């Protein structure tokens, strides 16, 4: 029976972030969610499970509040979860997260065939955790995957690349980072959510891990992006179009 | 005091919201316009296990508490009040009554298929001459061998045309007064039963409403719910839970009115700035948000009392009275904020205003709610 691991991050739901008066970001009333692409990774793990009778495991590193995210993942059809939690894990950088995941997968999960990650997280979208994790585990990494299937001892993946679509195979175990096109994540029913808390979850605390590495990225400040509007209105007749072009020229948008 | 939802309740709210944005919101205007029962939507609701939320899993439900079911009704109603109401009547009243008063056999034969979402349930008490005055019911049932024979006409029955199972109230002994009415489980295929006229309504148009006609309608005596003569207290128990559902429906309508009003008033520019900057508009929105919170807490509190198995009749009536009147008041304001655009088809607030009106009428009018509340506090 194959084993599929889906890694996910419990992130701030961007719909709740407000912009303060001076362009600062207001996180005072935010809610959290499983990162968008990570939901695709979870869904793909569950699809592989349903197609091949695999066992689907979810792994996440985060603050203790991410316990709700673990239930969310389990309600989506995941069989069991590893939850690595500490109140200091709110601002880990990608290299630290990847090292923690490597340690836990290596030491706790005896056998696995595929590790699925979202192409990037919903909050930082650094696209680092998947490739770093594959490198540290010494397994192939296949990124930008929009279609995936398992065959005997190998996986077949469709990658969306600039030039078109690339179909490749890779020996197992392998790590795959998925694009949102790979599937449509299911919406868990009430019963799925109520049963999630009854599935096995292994909680791992900071003391169970080797000392944390130093972060490679330092966040100096965060500010909101701003879209300036000049609120000019143009008509569709020739004179108005000329005025429109003139206005774009004046602003230096076109030469 | 603890105002926190469980993690499961929070996740369920998020999931139902996502379900609504994907499956309900896109069709809500069309099913209203065409007075259409969206069978395809109810199939999806069944597939997701949303049809029997407060019913135990052994009877085909999800096994959640009543508060969770109220959260779902609220979120469904935020997108489509008809859909929220249909689920509320089906699960919150019909399924719940069979769960509370039914025999094991009745639960297996009638509750389980309904909780699994295989068909809808309907509650049939109101008659042409008997609304708030339930004693004026004329439908009667007579025992004939091993069957009851029911004769009479019910009206304004929600889910009437679409249901598969009906809870029908009829006199078995008129001379016994309040102890003379009984409740029958009538399957749609019962001989002598037919669905009468369908009503065209001002609002809540995709919820199907009709007359039900019983002409020598025969049901087995095994279809008597509870004991003979226990119908009225049963109906009142059904109403108590149902009223919390209506309050939740109103909270959903109010939330939608607030969402639409905030969005529009920030976008609509008059005299060079968004109308939300005008105090006249800002205060309407402040009042709307305040009444929404009040209605929400009344509804959740009544649901919480029910889950704790504490008395909740008065609180359910208060929640229904306050939430329905707030929904009516503020959907009118929401249309006002939208101006001419709000009066035209295609504006969500126009539908919300029409949908809100019925909440002051059905499952006990506002006047009946005041009778229930005053009767309790003046006792």
Each residue of B350-360: pLDDT tens digit?
Answer: 999 999 999 99
User: Cis bond leading into A173, ω under 30°?
Assistant: yes
Q: What is the mean pLDDT of residues B290-300?
A: 98
The residue whose two tokens read 């009428």 is: B361
State ipTM.
Answer: 0.89
Closest-CA residue to B54 (of A114, A133, A191): A191
Domains defined for chain B, CATH in brackets: 7-120 (1.10.540.10), 122-230 (2.40.110.10), 233-377 (1.20.140.10)
Q: Is the pLDDT of residue B362 over 90?
A: yes
Percent of the residues in chain B that have a pLDDT greater than 70, as a whole number: 100
The verdict on A197 touching B (C-beta cutoff 8 Å) is yes
Beta bridge partners of B95: none
Q: What is the pLDDT of residue A104?
A: 97
- Nearest residue in A to B51, CA atom: A190
3 state DSSP class of B103:
coil
Is B48–A194 a contact, with Cβ atoms under 8 angstroms apart? no
Q: What is the pLDDT of residue A223?
A: 82
φ and ψ of B312, to 5 deg: -140, 10
The rounded distance, in Å, linking the Cα atoms of B296 and B333 is: 19
Is B62–A190 a contact, with Cβ atoms under 8 angstroms apart? yes
- Nearest residue in A to B57, CA atom: A191
What the block records as the tokens of A163 is 């030039």
Each residue of A142-195: pLDDT tens digit?
Answer: 999 999 999 888 999 999 999 999 999 999 999 999 999 999 999 999 999 999
Best of B15, B50, B263 to mutate (most A CBs within 10 Å, chain A): B15
Residues of B serving a catalytic function are 363
Q: How far is A145 from chain B (nearest CA, A)?
A: 25
The verdict on A196 touching B (C-beta cutoff 8 Å) is yes
The conformation of residue B145, written as its DSSP 8-state character, comes to: T
Chain B, window 3-22: residues with a beta carbon less than 8 angstroms from a chain A beta carbon: 7-8, 10-12, 14-15, 18-19, 22
Each residue of B234-267: pLDDT tens digit?
Answer: 999 999 999 999 999 999 999 999 999 999 999 9
Is A71–B11 a contact, with Cβ atoms under 8 angstroms apart? yes
The rounded distance, in Å, linking the Cα atoms of A188 and B237 is: 31
Higher pLDDT, B349 or A253: B349
Q: Where residue A209 falls among pLDDT bands split at 50, 70, 90? A: very high
Assign residue B104 a region: left if phi > 0, alpha if psi is -120 to 50, beta otherwise?
alpha
Q: Among partner residues B7, B18, B68, which is closest to A190 by beta-carbon distance?
A: B68
Alpha helices in chain B (DSSP H): 7-19, 25-33, 39-47, 66-79, 81-87, 96-101, 104-106, 112-115, 231-267, 279-307, 313-343, 348-359, 366-377
Neighbours of A164 (CB within 10 A): 7
Closest-CA residue to A213 (of A131, A101, A87): A101
Decide if B8 contacts A71 (C-beta within 8 A): yes
The verdict on A20 touching B (C-beta cutoff 8 Å) is no
Each residue of B155-168: pLDDT tens digit?
Answer: 999 999 999 999 99
Tell me what the pLDDT averaged over chain B comes to.
97
Q: Among partner residues A68, A188, A194, which is closest to B63 by beta-carbon distance?
A: A194
- Alpha carbon dihedral A185, A187, A191, A197, in 10-degree steps, equals 60
The verdict on B126 touching A (C-beta cutoff 8 Å) is no
Q: State how far the alpha carbon of B236 is from the alpha carbons of A227, B181, B242, B247, B299, in Å.
A: 57, 12, 10, 16, 18
Q: Which residues of A touch B57 (CB under 8 A)?
A: 191
A22-26, A59-63, B90-94, B246-250: segment of lowest average pLDDT: A22-26
φ and ψ of A172, to 5 deg: -95, 150
Each residue of A62-113: pLDDT tens digit?
Answer: 999 999 999 999 999 999 999 999 999 988 999 999 999 999 999 999 899 9
The rounded distance, in Å, linking the Cα atoms of B91 and A134 is: 49
The rounded distance, in Å, linking the Cα atoms of A114 and B104 is: 47
């Amino acid at each position: 029976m194959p084993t599929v691991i889906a890694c996910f991050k419990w992130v701030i739901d961007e719909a709740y972030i407000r912009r303060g008066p001076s362009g600062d970001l207001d996180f005072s009333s935010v809610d959290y969610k499983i990162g968008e692409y990570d939901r695709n990774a979870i869904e793909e793990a569950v699809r592989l499970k349903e197609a091949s009778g695999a066992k689907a495991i979810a792994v996440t590193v985060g603050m203790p509040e991410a316990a709700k995210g673990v239930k969310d993942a389990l309600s989506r059809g995941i069989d069991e979860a590893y939850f690595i939690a500490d109140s200091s894990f709110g601002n880990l950088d990608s290299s630290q997260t990847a090292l923690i995941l490597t340690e836990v997968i290596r030491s706790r999960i005896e056998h696995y065939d595929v590790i699925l990650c979202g192409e990037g997280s919903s909050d930082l979208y650094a696209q680092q955790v998947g490739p770093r994790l594959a490198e540290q585990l010494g397994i192939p990494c296949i990124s930008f995957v929009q279609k995936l299937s398992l065959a005997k001892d190998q996986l077949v993946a469709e990658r969306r690349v600039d030039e078109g679509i690339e179909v490749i195979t890779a020996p197992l175990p392998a790590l795959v980072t998925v694009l949102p096109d790979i599937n449509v994540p299911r919406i868990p029913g009430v019963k799925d959510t109520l049963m999630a808390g009854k599935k096995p979850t292994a909680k791992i605390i900071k003391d169970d891990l080797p000392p944390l590495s130093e972060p490679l990225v330092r966040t100096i400040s965060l500010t909101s992006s701003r879209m300036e509007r000049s609120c000019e209105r143009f008509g569709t007749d020739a004179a108005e179009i000329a005025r429109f072009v003139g206005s774009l020229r004046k602003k230096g948008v076109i030469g | 005091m603890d105002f926190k939802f469980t993690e499961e309740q929070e996740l369920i709210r998020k999931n139902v919201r996502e379900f609504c944005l994907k499956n309900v919101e896109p069709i809500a205007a069309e099913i209203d316009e065409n007075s259409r029962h969206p069978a395809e939507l109810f199939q999806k609701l069944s597939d997701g296990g949303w049809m029997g939320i407060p019913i135990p899993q052994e009877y085909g439900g999800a096994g959640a508490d009543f508060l969770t079911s109220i959260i779902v009704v609220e979120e469904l109603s935020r997108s489509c009040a008809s859909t929220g109401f249909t689920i509320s009547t089906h699960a919150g009243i019909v399924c719940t009554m069979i769960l509370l008063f039914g025999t094991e056999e009745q639960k297996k034969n009638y509750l389980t298929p309904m909780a699994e979402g295989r068909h809808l349930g309907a509650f049939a008490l109101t008659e042409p001459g008997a609304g708030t005055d339930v004693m004026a019911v004329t439908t009667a049932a007579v025992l004939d061998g091993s069957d009851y024979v029911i004769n009479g006409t019910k009206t304004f029955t929600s889910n009437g045309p679409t249901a598969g199972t009906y809870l029908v109230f009829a006199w078995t002994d008129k001379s016994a007064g309040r102890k003379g009415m009984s409740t029958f489980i009538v399957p749609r295929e019962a001989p002598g039963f037919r669905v009468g006229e369908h009503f065209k309504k001002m609002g809540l148009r995709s919820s199907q409403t009709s007359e039900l006609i019983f002409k020598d309608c025969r049901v087995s005596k095994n279809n008597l719910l509870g004991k003979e003569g226990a119908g009225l207290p049963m109906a009142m128990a059904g109403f108590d839970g149902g009223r919390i559902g209506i309050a939740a429906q109103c909270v959903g309508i109010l939330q939608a009115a607030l969402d639409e009003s905030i969005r529009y008033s920030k976008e609509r520019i008059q005299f060079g700035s968004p109308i939300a900057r005008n105090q006249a508009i800002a205060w309407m929105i402040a009042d709307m948000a305040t009444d929404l919170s009040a209605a929400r807490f009344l509804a959740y509190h009544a649901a919480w009392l029910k889950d704790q198995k504490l008395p909740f009749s008065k609180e359910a009536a208060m929640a229904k009275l306050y939430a329905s009147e707030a929904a009516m008041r503020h959907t009118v304001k929401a249309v006002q904020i939208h101006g001419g655009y709000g009066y035209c088809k295609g504006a969500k607030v126009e539908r919300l205003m029409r949908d809100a009106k019925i909440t002051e009428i059905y499952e006990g009018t506002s006047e009946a709610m005041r009778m229930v509340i005053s009767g309790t506090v003046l006792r």
